[in-house]
Amino acid sequence: MTDGRVSTALPGRGRRMLADRRWLYVLPLLALAIPFFVNDYIQYIVNLTLIYILVGVGFNVLIGNLGQLAFANAAFFGLGAYTTGILMYHLNLPFWLALLPGGIVAAIAGAIISLPALRGIRLFYLAIVTLAFGELLRWTYIHVESLTLGSMGLHVPRPSVFGYDLTSEAGKFVVFLVVVVVALQATANLLRSRVGRAFMAIKNNEHAAASVGVPTSLYFVLAFAWSGLVVGLGGGLYAAHVRLVAPEAFNLMALIMHFAIVMVGGLGNLAGGVIGAIIVTGTPELVRAWPGMLELFLAIPIIVILMFLPKGLVSLLCRPLPMLQESYHRP
């Protein structure tokens, strides 16, 4: 496997400069200019994109980097959203205090969901059991009405950060951007550390990894929990952004959308999750008026990508922009 090690033959000086990942820090700074150019509706979609960046990046850790068929992503997203939403609604916690618990609860759920994997359940079996877990949670949201208000959903109060109410979309954008940058940097560090290399070893050959002393069980739990944490934070942002947390938002449709984000962007590449989110997030808004189109607009790109570009759109961008390439060791 050549994951992330597509060598750039004869790296010229300019090319080596472009491979410097620090260039990417320019992107959030550029993004800060967005609120000056767009109206509130577009800004709302942009904020949603930030949320789905977390969803895509977190999901990618499990299915891309660890290479497991774990289909519980909508469940992590929902747990994050419900935890943050419940803390804000029932306990009147401010948003900034309620966000992290959302991530933590989803991380714990991730660790629990990794139990079947530790029992040796892999491949399709793991997919089915995680799918069942997600649906079970959705049933729970509907039936634990005292906390979740059932299928009508939870109306989350206005988010506030350190006493300031986030009344404008632009204000939310800045806060969300900070959360996303921190989560992405942490995920990038994790994936480029010993842990990330262990994930890659497990993906390529689990038995071989175990036989050279990689504690595979530990890394399974870690990957599931980390994925849960990042996606759960996304869920927390979702609760504050959309301010309606209802079970329908975390069904299989949501899961397919998460899949589309990862597949279209690029499986197993951090930037892939980001690119996928940027492309896919707006789709439901664009096709809202035509029933059935959302399904087609999610399914057909997945099919085309699987057939012709298995590493996603990011693999097209890696050549002109080598800083997007995943490199797991220092060159």
Judged by the rule CB under 8 A, the positions of this chain that interact with other proteins are 63, 67, 69, 115-116, 119-125, 127-129, 131-133, 135-136, 139, 143, 206-207, 210, 216, 252, 256, 259, 263, 267, 290-296, 298-300, 302-303, 306-307, 310
Residue 181 neighbours by CB under 8 Å, 6+ apart: 28
32 versus 136: smaller Cβ distance to other proteins: 136
Looking up tokens 């984000």, which residue turns up?
261
- In which region does residue 104 sit, left (phi positive, over 0), alpha (psi from -120 to 50) or beta (all else)? alpha
20 versus 145: smaller Cβ distance to other proteins: 145
Tell me the closest approach of the beta carbon of residue 116 to other proteins, in angstroms. Answer: 6
DSSP bridge partners of 161: 164
- In which region does residue 4 sit, left (phi positive, over 0), alpha (psi from -120 to 50) or beta (all else)? left
Q: How far apart, in whole angstroms, are the C-alpha atoms of residue 329 and residue 36?
A: 39
Q: How far apart, in whole angstroms, are the C-alpha atoms of residue 266 and residue 326?
A: 11
27 versus 300: smaller Cβ distance to other proteins: 300
Tell me the closest approach of the beta carbon of residue 230 to other proteins, in angstroms. Answer: 19
94 versus 150: smaller Cβ distance to other proteins: 150
Tell me the closest approach of the beta carbon of residue 187 to other proteins, in angstroms. Answer: 19
Tell me the closest approach of the beta carbon of residue 161 to other proteins, in angstroms. Answer: 38
140 versus 327: smaller Cβ distance to other proteins: 140
The dihedral through the CA atoms of 30, 258, 234, 282 has a sign that is positive
Tell me the closest approach of the beta carbon of residue 293 to other proteins, in angstroms. Answer: 7
Secondary structure of 253-289 as H, E, C letters:
HHHHHHHHHHHHHCCCCHHHHHHHHHHHCCHHHHCCC
DSSP labels, 127-189: HHHHHHHHHHHHHHHHH-HHHH-GGG-EEPPPPEETTEE--SHHHHHHHHHHHHHHHHHHHHH
DSSP bridge partners of 155: 244
7 versus 204: smaller Cβ distance to other proteins: 204
Contact present, 57 and 227 (Cβ < 8 Å): no
115 versus 152: smaller Cβ distance to other proteins: 115
Tell me the closest approach of the beta carbon of residue 53 to other proteins, in angstroms. Answer: 20
Tell me the closest approach of the beta carbon of residue 296 to other proteins, in angstroms. Answer: 4
Tell me the closest approach of the beta carbon of residue 168 to other proteins, in angstroms. Answer: 35
Amino acid at 136: L
121 versus 323: smaller Cβ distance to other proteins: 121
Write out the two tokens for 106: 């989803």
